[in-house]
Amino acid sequence: MQLMSKMVFRRFMLRKGVALLLALIFVVSTVGLYIAFVNVTTDVPITDRQPAEQASKSNSPSDLPSTAPTHPQTREKPRASTFQTRQPASPAHGALANSTADECVFTSTQPKSSADIEMTKLFDTLPFDNPDGGVWKQGYDITYKMTSFDEHPLEVFIVPHSHNDPGWLKTFEDYYASQTRSILTLITDALAANSKRRFIWAEISYLDLWWQEQSSSRREQFRRLVENGQMEIVTGGWVMTDEANSYYYYAMIDQLIEGHSWIKQNLPGVIPRAGWSIDPFGYNPTLAYLLGETGMNNMVIQRVHYAIKKHLSINKALEFGWRQLWDHSKTTDIFCHLMPFYSYDIPHTCGPDPKICCQFDFKRIEGNPDCPWGIRPEAITDGNVAHRAEMLADQYRKKAQLGKSKTSTTNYERLIGYVNSHPEMKMKVQFGTLTEFFTALRKHTGATEHQIPAGFPTFTGDFFTYCDREADYWSGYYTSRPFHKRMDRVLETNLRVAEVLYSVAVAKKVPVDPNTPVQLTKARRNLGLFQHHDGITGTAKNHVVMDYTQRLTYSITAMKKAAASSAQSLLLAPRHNPGSLVFDIEEIFPLVLLRVNSHKVLVKDAVGTFVPSQISPVWSNEKIISSEEFEVVFVASLGALGFATYQLVPADEGEAPLASVELINHSTSSAVFQPQAHAGGDITLTTSHLTASFSPDKGLLQHVETQGLRVSVSADLVMYQSKHSGNEKSGAYLFLPEGEAHSIVQGQRPAVMVTKGPLLQEVCTAFSVITHCVQVFESPGVEGKSLGIKNTVDIRQEMDRELAMRFSTSVRNMDGVYYTDLNGFQLVRRRTVSKLPLQANVYPMPSAALLQDQSVRVTLYTAQPLGVSSLKQGWLEAMLDRRLSQDDSRGLGQGVTDNLHTVEMFKLLIEKRMTAEPSDLTTTLVYPSLLGHHTSDILLHPLQMLVIKPSHVGLPLFHTHSVLAAPFPCDLHLVNLRSVLDSDPPTNAAMILHRRGFDCGYKTEPLTCSLEGGKLSLSNIFSDFSVTKAVSTSLSLMHEYEPLTTLSLHVPPMEVQTYKLSW
CB-CB contact of 778 with 688 (8 Å): yes
Q: What is the DSSP letter of 263?
A: H
Query: Read out DSSP for 470-492?
Result: TT-B--STTTSSHHHHHHHHHHH
Pick the closest to residue 551 from 521, 515, 525, 516 (CA basis).
Answer: 525
Residue type, 709: L
Q: What CA dihedral angle connects 486, 492, 495 and 501, to 10 degrees? A: -110
Pick the closest to residue 341 from 350, 332, 333 (CA basis).
Answer: 350
Pairing of strands 742-743, 709-721: antiparallel
CB-CB contact of 808 with 716 (8 Å): yes
Q: What CA dihedral angle connects 857, 858, 863 and 864, to 10 degrees? A: -110
**What are the distances in angstroms from CA 802 to CA 721, 725, 731?**
7, 16, 11
CB-CB contact of 192 with 225 (8 Å): yes
Angle at 684 between CA 681 and CA 689, to 5 degrees: 155
CB-CB contact of 523 with 555 (8 Å): yes
**What are the distances in angstroms from CA 276 to CA 33, 492, 670, 1019?**
53, 24, 60, 39
What phi and psi values does residue 525 have, to the nearest 5 degrees? -75, -35
CB-CB contact of 586 with 947 (8 Å): yes
**What is the spatial distance between Cα 679 and Cα 530, in angstroms, rounded to a whole number?**
50
CB-CB contact of 704 with 692 (8 Å): yes
- Collapsing DSSP states into helix, strand and coil, what is residue 13? coil
CB-CB contact of 877 with 871 (8 Å): yes
Instruction: Give the bridge partners for 715, in sequence order.
Output: 807
Q: What is the DSSP letter of 120?
A: H
**What is the spatial distance between Cα 454 and Cα 322, in angstroms, rounded to a whole number?**
14
**What are the distances in angstroms from CA 843 to CA 284, 347, 866, 869, 904?**
12, 30, 9, 6, 18
**What is the spatial distance between Cα 77 and Cα 116, in angstroms, rounded to a whole number?**
21
Active-site positions? 279
**What is the spatial distance between Cα 675 and Cα 8, in angstroms, rounded to a whole number?**
28
Number of C-beta neighbours around residue 9 at 10 A = 19
Residue type, 738: E
**What is the spatial distance between Cα 13 and Cα 719, in angstroms, rounded to a whole number?**
28
**What is the spatial distance between Cα 842 and Cα 832, in angstroms, rounded to a whole number?**
9
Pick the closest to residue 166 from 433, 525, 479 (CA basis).
Answer: 525
CB-CB contact of 802 with 907 (8 Å): no
**What is the spatial distance between Cα 840 and Cα 475, in angstroms, rounded to a whole number?**
7
**What is the spatial distance between Cα 165 and Cα 890, in angstroms, rounded to a whole number?**
15
CB-CB contact of 742 with 822 (8 Å): no
Pairing of strands 988-995, 866-869: unpaired
| H-state helical runs in 228-314 | 249-266, 285-294, 306-314
- Helix/strand/coil percent split, the chain, to 5: 25, 30, 50
